[in-house]
Chain A
Amino acid sequence: MLTVEGISTYYGNIQALKEVELKVNEGEIVTLIGSNGAGKTTTLLTISGLLKPAQGKVTFLGRTITGVPPHNIVKMGISHVPEGRRIFPLMTLMENLEMGAFGRTDKRAIKEDLDMVFQTFPQLKGREKQMAGTLSGGEQQMLAMGRALMSRPKLLLLDEPSMGLAPMIVKEIFQIIEKINRQGTTILLVEQNAQMALKTAGKGYVLETGKIVLQDNASALLENDDVRKSYLGE
């Protein structure tokens, strides 16, 4: 579904990604783990078009999407939940969700998806008119995910959904990720919480200073000595 081939991305003169390769098949949950600054977020930003790679290419459903502006990539079916949620704080919860469906005109289907979002995140229900900036961190994460689902993505990119959240809520978020995946959305998950991510995903990649150093089934990575030492704190 998604193929990333040899992408190198720079911030000015600093090379953040060194020929990163990865593949996501339809229906999978794939996770990309690594420490802070390894290039996880950069990888997602390059896929969704906010950053342009100096080399390499990204293909999605058989089409090259490198160089396509982000607002068109969304229309092709990739939705990105950015790091730190990035909800629109001065807009209401409902307006945030409407923005998620910005590129769509099928009013009835949008309504159905709204119902689906409220069903997936019942905490958001009844608070449509609340300013999004006044929601708690967990609720903001849910809103950011709901907003991303409003574009009816085929592939959902999740950047650190557990960041700064209480363990209880992290658990809940990961359950919802599994549920979204069961309902047919492919997921590429970036996480620092390697434990949770590898338990949820089918396949995993390990990123170290801009390079993919390991790739395997998630269950195998959970057993891998290097991974256990470096990322699972054992």
Chain B
Amino acid sequence: MFIQQLVNGIILGSIYSLIALGYTMVYGIIMLINFAHGEIYMFGAFAGMILVVFYNVPFFLAFLLAMAFAGLVGLTVEYLAYRPLRRSSRLAALISAIGASIFLQNLALLIMGARPYTFPSPFIPKVYQTSFLTISKLELIILAISFLLMFALTFFIQKTKIGKAMRAAAQDMDTASLMGINVNLIISITFLVGSALGAAAGVMVGIYFRTVTPMMGLMPGLKGFVAAVLGGIGRIPGAMLGGLLLGVAEVMAAAYISSQYRDAAAFAILILVLFFKPTGLMGSFMQEKV
């Protein structure tokens, strides 16, 4: 029972981690909570569903195209809603983010209508069973894709030139530009990558629950935000850890307390973190040497 719940929590958590990464990468570089991120996730899910259901695109190709599409949406949101406010107060940008979120939600409602769409699972249902654990093929694929994406992102951030420039810009934007780094371009790439990861999560949730709706981004968007704060906002490994912990905590609360407390557990964690360790589990204040 416990191991089963733990695995369920990790599956859910890996989705939260992917969403949290988008928040944390953007926050790390421009100190903005991108509240439109949940909608980007929803756009990704829709793009995947439309390609698979209406155009018969093979699933994995549709998956990649959905990531690319959502990446471009994220990049456009940054360009139109955040970049003009770069030198304004953080509150102005935050309000603009909420506006972008409402706009994207309504755009989806306008185009797709309010009814839910079915997103059929592309895989033949298959369940693996041992004495202590039951897991479906779909769940294994979700786990594999999530961890693969997180691994790829870590490599990108740690080892590539662009990834290093992203870290440099996150630590000190002005100094990064003095190194010859085009900071605006780096910010665009950050939105592109973060949004693509959010879309990956959206598509996977779409096939897992077999539905896609214009409002589907709301709750996972908030959960992803909680996961990012839990791990230490701005810290990429923190977002991964925060997502996994949040997923496990939620599933455990549902299993051992009551399934009605699922969401309450997530937000109780947010409150506790903000209360006792606002920098998050992996966040820290860097001492500046003079």
Q: Mark A residues whose CB is within 8 Å of B.
A: 48-50, 69-71, 74-75, 79-80, 82, 84, 86, 88-91, 95, 98-100, 102-103, 133, 135-137, 140, 147, 151, 163-164
- Say how far A132's CB is from chain B's closest CB, in angstroms: 10
Whether B290 lies near A99 (C-beta < 8 A) is: no
**Which of chain A's residues has its CB closest to B164's CB?**
A95
- Say how far A52's CB is from chain B's closest CB, in angstroms: 12
Interface SS of chain A: loop
Q: Mark B residues whose CB is within 8 Å of A.
A: 161, 164-165, 167-168, 171-172, 174-183, 286-290
Please name all residues of chain A whose beta carbon is closer than 8 Å to the beta carbon of B161 when the two chains form the complex.
98, 102
Whether B171 lies near A147 (C-beta < 8 A) is: no
Please name all residues of chain B whose beta carbon is closer than 8 Å to the beta carbon of A79 when the two chains form the complex.
178
- Cα-based distance from A82 to B168 in the complex (angstroms): 15
Whether B180 lies near A88 (C-beta < 8 A) is: no
- Say how far B162's CB is from chain A's closest CB, in angstroms: 10
**Which of chain B's residues has its CB closest to A163's CB?**
B290
Whether A102 lies near B179 (C-beta < 8 A) is: yes
- Cα-based distance from A135 to B181 in the complex (angstroms): 24
Whether B180 lies near A74 (C-beta < 8 A) is: yes
Whether B182 lies near A91 (C-beta < 8 A) is: no
Please name all residues of chain B whose beta carbon is closer than 8 Å to the beta carbon of A88 when the two chains form the complex.
167-168, 171-172, 175-176
Return the 5 tightest CB-CB contacts between A and B, nearest first. A103-B180, A74-B180, A70-B177, A86-B175, A102-B180
Whether A102 lies near B174 (C-beta < 8 A) is: no
Partner pick for B178 among A48, A89, A135, A164, CB 8 A cutoff: A48
Whether A75 lies near B178 (C-beta < 8 A) is: no
- Say how far B280's CB is from chain A's closest CB, in angstroms: 15
Please name all residues of chain B whose beta carbon is closer than 8 Å to the beta carbon of A70 when the two chains form the complex.
174, 177-178
Residue picked from A80, A135, A140, most chain B C-beta under 10 Å = A80
- Say how far B49's CB is from chain A's closest CB, in angstroms: 39
- Say how far A70's CB is from chain B's closest CB, in angstroms: 4
A/B interface sample: 27 pairs, CB < 8 A: A50-B177, A69-B177, A69-B182, A71-B179, A74-B178, A75-B180, A80-B178, A82-B174, A82-B178, A86-B172, A86-B175, A88-B172, A88-B175, A88-B176, A89-B171, A89-B288, A91-B164, A91-B168, A91-B171, A95-B164, A95-B167, A99-B165, A99-B168, A99-B179, A99-B181, A102-B180, A103-B179
Whether A89 lies near B286 (C-beta < 8 A) is: yes
Please name all residues of chain B whose beta carbon is closer than 8 Å to the beta carbon of A71 when the two chains form the complex.
177, 179-183
| Given A88-B171, A89-B171, A90-B171, A99 and B164 contact (CB-CB distance below 8 Å) | yes
- Cα-based distance from A49 to B183 in the complex (angstroms): 13
Please name all residues of chain B whose beta carbon is closer than 8 Å to the beta carbon of A163 when the two chains form the complex.
290
- Say how far A182's CB is from chain B's closest CB, in angstroms: 24
- Cα-based distance from A136 to B288 in the complex (angstroms): 11
Whether A102 lies near B165 (C-beta < 8 A) is: yes
Whether B183 lies near A164 (C-beta < 8 A) is: no
Please name all residues of chain A whose beta carbon is closer than 8 Å to the beta carbon of B176 when the two chains form the complex.
88, 99
Whether B179 lies near A74 (C-beta < 8 A) is: yes
Whether A136 lies near B289 (C-beta < 8 A) is: yes
- Say how far A50's CB is from chain B's closest CB, in angstroms: 6
Please name all residues of chain B whose beta carbon is closer than 8 Å to the beta carbon of A74 when the two chains form the complex.
178-180
- Cα-based distance from A99 to B161 in the complex (angstroms): 8
